[in-house]
Structure 1
Amino acid sequence: MSESTSQATAVPMLALNNGVRIPQLGFGVFQIPPEDTRVAVGEALAAGYRHIDTAAAYRNEAGVGAALAESAIPREEIFVTTKLRNGEQGSPRAAFEASRKALGLDVIDLYLIHWPVPSQGLYTQAWKELEALYSQGLVRAIGVSNFLSGHLDTLLAGASVVPAVNQIEAHPTFHQAALADKSRSHGIAVEAYSPLGQGRDLDSPVVTELAAKYSVTPAQVVLAWHLGIGNIVIPKSATPARIRENLAAASLSLAPEELERISALESGQRIGADPAVAAFTQM
């Protein structure tokens, strides 16, 4: 995966498996109320973020779209991700069009299947529809989220397009190294959500020690760890100061042994739902 640096934001850029470039540090809007999303995304864009991650299930795509419309930043400089809701795996085309309309975009940069929901048995069928959207130029890259090893095997067995991204729960105490390695072995980039362990990983002695050493915050240390091990990462905040603070993590480089010390915090404790059994519709 090749790397360069965006002069506009000083955030590393990763090349996905189809050559599309994605800012490695983005801004997530999960759990930001719809009425607050426009302002939060506007703050993020003003701070220098050029990668915004939303989803139909978050019910705030319209707020993202409003912020994009108000911004003077050229569209080609902003990378936008959204996701297919679980309850719409049987109708991906209509779901995609609804997201595109809410976002006010002709082309979406990255479209993901949000969860495999294996009990539905629809994700391979949905993937074929995403492949069609991709072939028609309506989306620049397609991928998956929360796909475990077996889900990837099933998908890849019938896929014409290898997913560009697998967005998974990943943070120091639960970074799913085997799944990340498998994803990368197929050329699938790993994107981390809940990158700070919903705050639970920030009090680790290793993290606080490194924060003191570099005169940065624990959150910046953890985000720098993600960047250092090659993850795409999408922290979320609605607080302007925290939004800027998270972005500044791109300027922190940890030594290999420091990355290893943080990786050693792995506990195997998942915070979110288990993709092997998760079956909510998100509707």
Structure 2
Amino acid sequence: MGAISALRQNLRRTVSGSPEVPAWSRDLANGTDAGFFGPDSAVWALHGSITTLVGGIRALLVQSLHPGALAGVDDFSMYREQPLVRLAGTGRWIATVTYGDTATATAACQRILKLHERVQGTYTDARGAIQTYSANDPQLLKWVHLAFMEAFLAGQAAYGGPLPGGEDRYIAEWATAGELMQVPDPPRSRAELDQQLAAFRPELVSDAKVAAAVNFIRHPPLPRSQRLGYRILFAGAVETLEPHYLELLGLRKSRLGPLPLPVRTATRLVLALIALGLGNRPASEGFARRRIARLKASTTQ
């Protein structure tokens, strides 16, 4: 029991920045409504899946290909000095919008948009021209939203089970989060997601900044005990990438000569071990269920 408890604390520290369940997660038991989604939603099914660990790595890789998005991270984020802090912040936003009541979810998005106001600068686009950027630029917000969904869906398709209602339902539901983040015309089907992603291809670049970002994502400063597992998860994320992403990122799927390595099997094993440490479902979901049960009980009294 002691070893499992230590494993759980170490994993929580890596994923959320704290060895214990954070206070903001416990606060999701409070609130006045069921939230934008619910226990039967595709959003709960996917965001509660351990496959999001693979999806998160894939999202970071793909998002780095847009020079405007990468410039904002390079110029204003302390991800190299404090990568786990940034990871914890992203995880908090996802969990809050997924599991919080509508007021809490809305406030979380407004907080991020407020923080974005200071994130402005310039970058060199795919044609070599200097462009200005703002983190609240509608097109940059759209790129991050699209790449996030594609990555989470890819991780689930490769290493998880089917979603209730399929990918179309998840994309349609998570469009609510896009609207809260002021994403223009967020897609509501897989066909729309693919179409909107394709429109970004001419804007993506492969340069030294991307190579540096990929190298950091491949070798983050993790505890020694977690490095082998992360290497497998990274390979599992690369396994889900389409050829055009692989080329731009300078990555290859793992092979031993002409033979592919059993990356997917190894990835599933690592995910199972992490689920053993963290639990099959996130703590935030449990607190949200308490809130929903309380609200249901109050309406029947």
Structure having the larger proportion of residues in helix? 2
Q: TM-score, normalised by structure 1?
A: 0.30
More strand by share: 1
Computing the radius of gyration from Cα coordinates, the structure with the larger value is 2
Which TM-score applies when normalising by structure 2?
0.29
Say which structure, 1 or 2, has more relative contact order (CA 8 Å, 6+ apart): 2
